[in-house]
Amino acid sequence: MSNPSLLILAGDGIGPEVMAEVRKIIDWFGAKRDLKFDVEEDLVGGSAYDAHGTPLTDETMAKAQAVDAVLLGAVGGPKYDVLDFSVKPERGLLRLRKEMDLYSNLRPAQCFDALADFSSLKKDVVAGLDIMIVRELTSGIYFGEPRGIITENNERVGINTQRYTESEIERVARSAFELAMRRGKKLCSMEKANVMESGILWREVVTEVGKDYPEVELSHMYADAGAMQLCRAPKQFDVIVTDNLFGDLLSDAAAMLTGSLGMLPSASLGAPMANGRPKALYEPVHGSAPDIAGQGKANPCACILSFAMALRYSFDQGAEATRLEQAVEKVLADGVRTADLLNEDGITPASTSQMGDAVIAAL
């Protein structure tokens, strides 16, 4: 039997640096745990644009469809701000999500004990926080038609369309209920059903799917109230399910609240492939951080933990995933810190590769 395959798309900014550390981890699992992967690398985002004039070539897209999992670094940077919308770095990422049909985006917002002081929130509000935001990722206003800038009555009009079908809502709701079953059995669905008809349909379908999960305590919240409650008392939540746009804002806010932004991974999952594995892409929640790129300052943990999610969700290696997660936690507990995890002067931060090496040592 051949090894499972990985496509690494390191992308822009700090993407390549943090991904280099993930490569070390992958090699470690191959050598020490006999978990071997066939790894290929390719370009996405601005770096793909620089090389090919497009943020994702058809060849790369085809590779992504063929592999068992994609690992992505980050895309974007000020250098590409001037580009036309259709070739901006983000379009590469959005094309991957859409064409791989990765409808369920899992974004854990977890507060690492060793980093609780790092949050802008009071320690007791965030210590021990562990919630999972399930964001719909292939539909809604990100992809709805019609869209564009048209001219009407002699002025320009910007248009985007929020569109959700019942089956789109159903499948992401189901994945959120499944997750809730394996966690604290609480699910909160967020929309603006008081203002948007798409929110009304969302609430109805989620409620309907909930009948198949009588053990899960389901609640509904308007997204604005959800934003408030995440800021006020995030620990009231277990799993949250929401649409693409609300999920973008709410998961970023939640990630920031933990104080562990440089630590947070994500998984984007689609339907099972012929081999039973879901289509999958794993990426850190943080962006490409062009201001510190190339300086060896970036924290590779979020990207490493994204690989841990790959072990769990794509390769059924939950125990190995936990091993890797615990290694990261041990490194933090030992006080190894990249610059983003330090707020005092006078301490020399660990470099990106020192952090990666420390994780390997802890493994």
Ligand X SMILES: CC(C)[C@H](C(=O)O)[C@@H](O)C(=O)O
Residue numbering of the annotated binding site for NAD(+): 77-90, 287-299
- Among 99, 3, 10, 88, which residue's Cα sits nearest to residue 58? 99
- Among 226, 224, 221, which residue's Cα sits nearest to residue 206? 221
Inter-CA distances, 115 with 27, 171, 305, Å: 28, 35, 16
For residue 197, state whether it binds ligand X (rule: CB under 6 A).
Answer: no
Task: Based on the residue annotation, tell me whether 142 is a catalytic residue of this protein.
Answer: yes
Which 231-270 residues touch a copy of itself, going by CB under 8 A? 231-233, 245-246, 248-250, 252-253, 255-257, 261
Q: How far is the CB of 295 from ligand X (least distance, A)?
A: 22
Closer residue to ligand X (CB): 137 or 301: 137
Contact with ligand X (CB under 6 A) among 27, 90, 101, 357: 90
Distance separating alpha carbons of residues 71 and 282, to the nearest angstrom: 5
Q: Is 131 helix (H, G, I), strand (E, B) or coil?
A: strand
Q: How far is the CB of 12 from ligand X (least distance, A)?
A: 11
C-beta separation of 240 from 255 below 8 A: no
Task: Based on the residue annotation, tell me whether 224 is a catalytic residue of this protein.
Answer: yes
Task: Please tell me the number of Cα atoms within 13 Å of 186 on its side-chain side.
Answer: 8
Residue numbering of the annotated binding site: 77-90, 97, 107, 135, 224, 248, 252, 287-299
Q: Is 183 helix (H, G, I), strand (E, B) or coil?
A: coil
Structure tokens at 315: 């390769």
Contact with a copy of itself (CB under 8 A) among 38, 197, 212, 291: 197
Residue 211 neighbours by CB under 8 Å, 6+ apart: none
Q: Is 236 helix (H, G, I), strand (E, B) or coil?
A: helix
Contact with a copy of itself (CB under 8 A) among 34, 152, 344, 345: 152
For residue 248, state whether it binds ligand X (rule: CB under 6 A).
Answer: yes
Instruction: Answer with the entry of a copy of itself, ligand X, none that 158 interacts with (C-beta below 5 to 8 A by kind).
Output: a copy of itself
For residue 297, state whether it binds a copy of itself (rule: CB under 8 A).
Answer: no
Using the contact rule CB under 8 A, the part of the chain among 19-27, 32-40, 58-66, 190-198 near a copy of itself is 190-198
Backbone angles phi, psi at 8, to 5 degrees: -100, 120
For residue 99, state whether it binds ligand X (rule: CB under 6 A).
Answer: no
Closer residue to ligand X (CB): 199 or 300: 199
Instruction: Answer with the entry of ligand X, a copy of itself, none that 85 interacts with (C-beta below 5 to 8 A by kind).
Output: a copy of itself
Catalytic residue among 42, 49, 103, 192: 192
Inter-CA distances, 114 with 110, 147, 238, 300, Å: 12, 45, 21, 17
Distance separating alpha carbons of residues 176 and 104, to the nearest angstrom: 8
Task: Please tell me the number of Cα atoms within 13 Å of 16 on its side-chain side.
Answer: 15
Per-residue contact string for residues 95-114; x = within reach of a copy of itself by CB under 8 A: --------------------
What letter does residue 11 receive in the DSSP assignment? Answer: E
C-beta separation of 25 from 305 below 8 A: no
Contact with ligand X (CB under 6 A) among 3, 161, 165, 194: 194
Catalytic residue among 142, 164, 213, 313: 142
Task: Based on the residue annotation, tell me whether 248 is a catalytic residue of this protein.
Answer: yes
Task: Based on the residue annotation, tell me whether 211 is a catalytic residue of this protein.
Answer: no
For residue 219, state whether it binds ligand X (rule: CB under 6 A).
Answer: no
Instruction: Answer with the entry of a copy of itself, ligand X, none that 167 interacts with (C-beta below 5 to 8 A by kind).
Output: a copy of itself
Which residues are designated catalytic? 142, 192, 224, 248, 252
